[in-house]
Copies of this chain bind each other. A is one copy, B any other.
Amino acid sequence: MRKEYLMTAGPTPVPPSVRAKEAEPIIHHRTKEFREIFVRVSEKLKPIFKTQNVVLTFTSSGTGAMEGAVSNLLSRGEKAIVIKAGKFSERWAEICEAYGVEVIPIEVEWGEVASPVELEEKLKKHPETKVVFTTLCETSTGTVFPIKEYGEILQNKDDTLLVVDAISGLGACDIEVDKWGVDVCVSGSQKALMLPPGLAFASVNEKTWKMVERSNLPKYYFDFKKAKKSLLEKKETPYTPGISLIVALDEALDLLNEEGIDSILKRHAKLGKATREAVRAIGLEVFSKHPANAVTAVKVPKGIDGKLLTDTMFYKYGVKVAGGQAHLKGKIFRIAHLGYMREFDVITAISALEIALKDLGYPVKLGEGVKAAEEVFSTSG
């Protein structure tokens, strides 16, 4: 009887009531019943994004909405700044290049962020930049970026948009889409929204719609204008949507909005802090210089095989954490504390880490990490 614990930054565990909704008999998407649900979820997403603007829903992985943010905002040969600091921020550059958009990279060491000053200087050098693409939480390094400060820099630039990949960040790391001047914020269903993968979202503000009008890149399935028109005029999606996922999203958003976005962010902050304190108490090092509250990347200690460590945690103890990606493979592992997660999910992850390290011969004092996490969770001070 195997019991598994999913501690990855996507997919994340889906609450039972959400799974039950997913399994309900399917309904038709061109009915009053579905239209009501679709309008409702489109509204209930807004407080999570902290926006008054429209939030579009696409049936795809988050990457689909990222592609849409490129193909709907830009024209061939235009310039975009991409803050490259990990696997997912590099995806912005890949998509731009696929569409013939000129990428001006800000190269940052993985685990670091681009300082607002770097962005400011790059913009001065390339004032014709049409879009700055960046990331709220870079999942590959567990790093949170200073989106608020980026937004301040872009505030007075009428012809440059700030587009943020908040796929793993939204609902875990704070982002005030409207207040901070985030023009497009992209997210996905399988992170803090506590759903299976299959839905992608994009909030789009007025400044952006003006840019959309002049974009000449080809687009069809991820056409933002068509999606907006369909939502506002028909209360529908242009193409058959992931109906079961949208029905389940309705329930997930009720759970989230009942807790409230600020309580959710506080919960994630506490889980993040407990995880960081715990791994430090074990004697390990947090990888990121700016650790995110969605996922903690931890350096694999010397003498330990990173893959063997995560394999031991998963295959021996059932606790699934992610390893490193690209050049960080084997060098870090990543414990997510994202979505449908509470104190004892962190305790479980840390406990499995301690036991696995001990199994592999690493000199760990069992219980030290768990104790450090408990100290964060205890309200007695």
Q: How far is the CB of A213 from chain B (nearest CB, A)?
A: 16
A residues near B, CB below 8 A?
4, 6, 8, 10-14, 19-20, 22-31, 59-64, 67, 71, 94-95, 98-100, 188, 190, 196-198, 217-223, 239-245, 314, 320, 322
Chain B residue nearest to A197 (CB atoms) is B240
Q: How many copies of this chain does one complex carry?
A: 2
Q: Of residues A27, A95, A220, which shows the largest number of chain B Cβ atoms within 10 Å of its Cβ?
A: A220
Distance of A62 Cα from B59 Cα, bound (Å)? 10
- Are A4 and B22 closer than 8 Å at their CB atoms? no
- Are B26 and A244 closer than 8 Å at their CB atoms? no
- Are A20 and B23 closer than 8 Å at their CB atoms? yes
- When distances are taken between beta carbons in the complex, the residues of chain B under 8 Å from A60 are 59-60, 64, 221
Chain B residue nearest to A320 (CB atoms) is B28
Q: How far is the CB of A325 from chain B (nearest CB, A)?
A: 10
Q: How far is the CB of A333 from chain B (nearest CB, A)?
A: 13
- Are B220 and A98 closer than 8 Å at their CB atoms? yes
- Are B31 and A25 closer than 8 Å at their CB atoms? no
- When distances are taken between beta carbons in the complex, the residues of chain B under 8 Å from A100 are 218
Q: How far is the CB of A9 from chain B (nearest CB, A)?
A: 10
Distance of A29 Cα from B8 Cα, bound (Å)? 10
Q: How far is the CB of A21 from chain B (nearest CB, A)?
A: 9
- When distances are taken between beta carbons in the complex, the residues of chain B under 8 Å from A197 are 29, 59, 240-244
- Are A67 and B221 closer than 8 Å at their CB atoms? yes
Chain B residue nearest to A20 (CB atoms) is B23
Given A59-B60, A221-B60, verify A25-B14 contact (CB < 8 Å): yes
- When distances are taken between beta carbons in the complex, the residues of chain B under 8 Å from A98 are 218-220, 223
Chain B residue nearest to A223 (CB atoms) is B98
- When distances are taken between beta carbons in the complex, the residues of chain B under 8 Å from A30 are 322
Given A23-B22, A28-B320, verify A196-B67 contact (CB < 8 Å): no
- Are B20 and A239 closer than 8 Å at their CB atoms? no
Give the residue of B71, B190, B219, B241 whose beta carbon is less than 8 angstroms from that of A240.
B190
